[in-house]
């Protein structure tokens, strides 16, 4: 028995929508209504269910419409839907990834990187203009320590060949001596010179920053991620002072007895909610347990981006521990008279537990990428069905990345999850490996039987239930894109693609192309081409590069 395409609930039509409306009555009303309605060229069947009227769409029309639409719109299929016709095209700034130079590129940065990339991809696909910003932790007292550390333990060759690794090692070493009064004084001096723009000190710092960015770019390339702008805290030294003056001029900055600068965010102005913005010695940004700290630099960065890009929406992608920080940041901007603060958004995500490589804890993003590639290569070489493929290492990387991304995107972004290599890399079940495998299989089907041509397709050959299931699912793609565009959650697209892959796998078994009559084979090829095309579109939005061989 087939499932109806559309269903109308009788209860939603009745005036007295109360429970005393007996199921019997509803069923009777449904039958009466179904008898009065007539089929036409679009609706081929109308029947009554328990309290519902069911409609079935003309199967040939369904097949023809869906295939033509997928074929015509190509990579824009779903995006051109009338669902998006009233959505205004906008300019969005997305700040994501944002690692701290010389510190661990931890797994939270990986999450921020892939989530931010997805949001930017989705916005671009929907016709918005997007500026991707990486806001680096490239300033602060730690650079005083790092400068002193480099003078003691640094190695220029190592800095050139692996800057992230080397600066991290130097930082760890100098941190062991950070309590030593002499080291403290040297670090303070180094940072003071930086703030005073001493040429020699600045050139050391600039080298740390430039070489780190070069290496970041190379690693991001492996992830398929790029940025339009590498910004950082260092850009906002002077502008932070302007913000301080603005806060003072507007009477928003108050001093506590200890001389700490705070901004009162409470509704009754009774200091029940305050945000600390300045230390008693006048420097901004320090962390204490009782206050939330807002850096003048973050305020300055937000204002500067508005002046530079005049955006319609600005999205910050970080872990949920920073929720209060952004709440306060937006509140202070609003108090300063910037109404656009309401168009700022914090997309937060939960924590990943248990991400380890065989060598132990993950320190660098590159460790994760190398690990997933080598594990995937092992799995591929141990599988009997693995064909000889042209570039096994690159394929392993793309499939491994798909595995990481799908495991991360399957649930709500705000939930924490336990990472598991075994679960992520399974080839069966709801994994990124399964998506890649399905895409490669459908691709090889087209290579084996030649490309499908839509012009001469006989849609009467696509009436089997398994073909209809795929077509019905393809028809819903725009709804899924719309949901993700509303709440910026990738999980809707992920579950859609996994279902599409399962339906395509069943159809691949029950609807063979090989050995079928020519018009049947041609129609089926067209169906599989459409499924592969939509699968590839969805994967690219998520930041996955589809593979053609596996």
- Same domain, residue pair 67 and 140: no
Please tell me the predicted confidence (pLDDT) of residue 292. 44
Please tell me the predicted confidence (pLDDT) of residue 550. 81
Nearest residue to 423 via CA among 408, 413, 445, 436: 408
- Same domain, residue pair 417 and 466: yes
- Same domain, residue pair 312 and 415: no
> What's the CATH number where 164 sits?
3.40.50.620
Q: What is the pTM (predicted TM-score) of this model?
A: 0.91
DSSP 463: -
User: Does some domain include residue 30?
Assistant: yes
User: Does some domain include residue 41?
Assistant: yes
- Same domain, residue pair 305 and 411: no
Token pair belonging to 200: 């020699």
- Same domain, residue pair 186 and 307: yes
Whole-angstrom Cα distance, residue 214 to residue 167?
A: 14
Task: Report, as residue numbers or ranges, the catalytic residues.
Answer: 103, 106, 109
Please tell me the predicted confidence (pLDDT) of residue 279. 60
- Same domain, residue pair 170 and 303: yes
User: Does some domain include residue 389?
Assistant: no
Number of domains into which the chain is organized = 3
- Same domain, residue pair 96 and 233: yes
- Same domain, residue pair 80 and 157: no
Print the SS3 string covering 429-443.
Answer: CCCHHHHHHHHHHHH
Whole-angstrom Cα distance, residue 445 to residue 533?
A: 13
Strands 313-319 and 91-95: parallel
User: Does some domain include residue 263?
Assistant: no
User: Does some domain include residue 450?
Assistant: yes
> 33-68 as b/e, with b when 16 or more CB fall inside 10 Å?
bbeeeeeeeebbebebbebbbbbbbbbeebbbbbbe
| Domain stop point among 331, 353, 375 | 353
- Same domain, residue pair 225 and 304: yes
| Domain stop point among 353, 372, 395 | 353
Domain holding 490, by residue range, is: 63-87+403-542
User: Does some domain include residue 548?
Assistant: no
Backbone angles phi, psi at 106, to 5 degrees: -85, 180
Nearest residue to 100 via CA among 56, 145, 62, 66: 145
- Same domain, residue pair 53 and 139: no
User: Does some domain include residue 397?
Assistant: no
Whole-angstrom Cα distance, residue 466 to residue 511?
A: 8
> What's the CATH number where 507 sits?
1.10.730.10
| Domain stop point among 335, 353, 371 | 353
Whole-angstrom Cα distance, residue 526 to residue 71?
A: 9
pLDDT in tens, the chain (550 residues): 567 888 999 988 876 655 556 777 888 999 999 999 999 999 999 999 989 999 999 999 999 999 999 999 999 999 999 999 999 999 999 999 999 888 877 777 899 999 999 999 999 999 999 999 999 999 988 899 999 999 999 999 999 999 988 999 999 899 888 888 999 999 999 999 998 999 999 999 999 999 999 999 999 999 999 999 999 999 998 888 888 889 889 988 887 776 677 787 777 676 767 777 766 555 444 333 233 456 788 999 999 999 999 999 999 999 999 998 999 999 999 999 999 999 999 999 998 887 777 777 666 788 888 889 999 999 888 876 556 778 899 999 999 999 999 999 999 999 998 888 888 888 888 999 999 999 999 999 999 998 777 777 999 999 999 999 999 999 999 999 999 999 999 999 999 999 999 999 999 999 999 999 999 999 999 999 999 999 999 999 999 999 998 8
Token pair belonging to 105: 């590129």
The maximal CA–CA distance of the chain, rounded, in angstroms, is: 92
Whole-angstrom Cα distance, residue 482 to residue 309?
A: 26
- Same domain, residue pair 127 and 82: no
User: Does some domain include residue 394?
Assistant: no
Please tell me the predicted confidence (pLDDT) of residue 289. 29
- Same domain, residue pair 31 and 161: no
């Amino acid at each position: 028995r087939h499932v109806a395409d559309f269903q109308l609930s009788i209860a939603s039509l009745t005036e007295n929508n109360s429970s005393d409306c007996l199921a019997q009555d509803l069923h009777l009303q449904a039958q009466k209504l179904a008898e009065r309605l007539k089929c036409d060229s679009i609706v081929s069947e109308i029947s009554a269910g328990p309290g519902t009227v069911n409609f079935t769409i003309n199967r040939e029309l369904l097949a023809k419409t869906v295939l033509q639409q997928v074929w015509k719109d190509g990579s824009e299929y779903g995006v051109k839907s009338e669902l998006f016709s009233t959505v205004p095209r906008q300019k969005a700034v997305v700040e994501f990834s944002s690692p701290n130079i010389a510190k661990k590129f931890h797994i939270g940065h990986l999450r921020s990187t892939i989530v931010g990339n997805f949001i930017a991809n989705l916005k671009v696909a929907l016709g918005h203009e997007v500026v991707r910003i990486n806001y680096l932790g490239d300033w602060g007292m730690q650079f005083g320590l790092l400068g002193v550390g480099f003078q003691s333990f640094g190695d220029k060759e190592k800095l050139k060949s692996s800057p992230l690794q080397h600066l991290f090692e130097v930082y760890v070493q100098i941190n062991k001596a950070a309590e030593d009064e002499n080291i403290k004084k040297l670090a303070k001096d180094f940072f003071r010179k930086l703030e005073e723009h001493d040429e020699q000190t600045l050139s050391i710092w600039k080298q740390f920053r430039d070489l780190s960015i070069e290496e970041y770019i190379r690693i991001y390339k492996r992830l398929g991620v790029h940025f339009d702008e590498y910004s950082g805290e260092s850009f906002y030294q002077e502008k932070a002072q302007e913000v301080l003056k603005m806060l003072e001029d507007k009477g928003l900055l108050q001093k506590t007895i200890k001389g700490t600068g705070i901004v009162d965010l409470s509704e009754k102005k009774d200091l029940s909610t305050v945000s600390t913005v300045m230390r008693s010695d006048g420097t901004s940004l320090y962390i204490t347990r009782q206050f939330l700290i807002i850096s003048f630099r973050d305020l300055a960065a937000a204002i500067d981006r508005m002046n530079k890009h005049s955006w319609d929406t600005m999205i910050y992608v970080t872990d949920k521990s920073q929720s209060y920080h952004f709440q306060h940041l937006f509140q202070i901007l609003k108090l300063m008279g910037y109404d656009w603060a309401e168009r700022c958004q914090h997309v937060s995500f939960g924590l990943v537990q248990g991400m380890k490589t065989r060598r132990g804890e993950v320190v660098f993003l590159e460790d994760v990428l190398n690990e997933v590639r080598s594990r995937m290569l092992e799995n591929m070489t141990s599988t009997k069905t693995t064909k000889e493929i042209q570039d096994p290492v690159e394929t392993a990387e793309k499939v491994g990345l798909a595995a990481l991304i799908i495991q991360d995107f399957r649930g709500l972004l705000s939930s924490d999850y336990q990472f598991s290599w075994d679960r992520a890399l399974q080839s069966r079940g709801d994994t990124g490996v399964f998506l890649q495998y399905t895409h490669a299989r459908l691709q090889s089907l087209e290579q084996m039987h030649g490309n499908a041509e839509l012009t001469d397709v006989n849609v009467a050959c696509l009436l089997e239930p398994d073909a209809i299931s795929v077509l019905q699912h393809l028809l819903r793609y725009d709804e899924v894109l719309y949901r993700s565009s509303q709440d910026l959650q990738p999980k809707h697209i992920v579950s859609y693609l996994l279902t599409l892959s399962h339906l395509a796998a069943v159809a691949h078994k029950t609807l063979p192309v090989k050995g079928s009559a020519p018009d049947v084979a041609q129609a089926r090829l067209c169906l599989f081409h459409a499924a592969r095309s939509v699968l590839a579109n969805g994967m690219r939005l998520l930041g996955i590069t589809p593979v053609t061989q596996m």
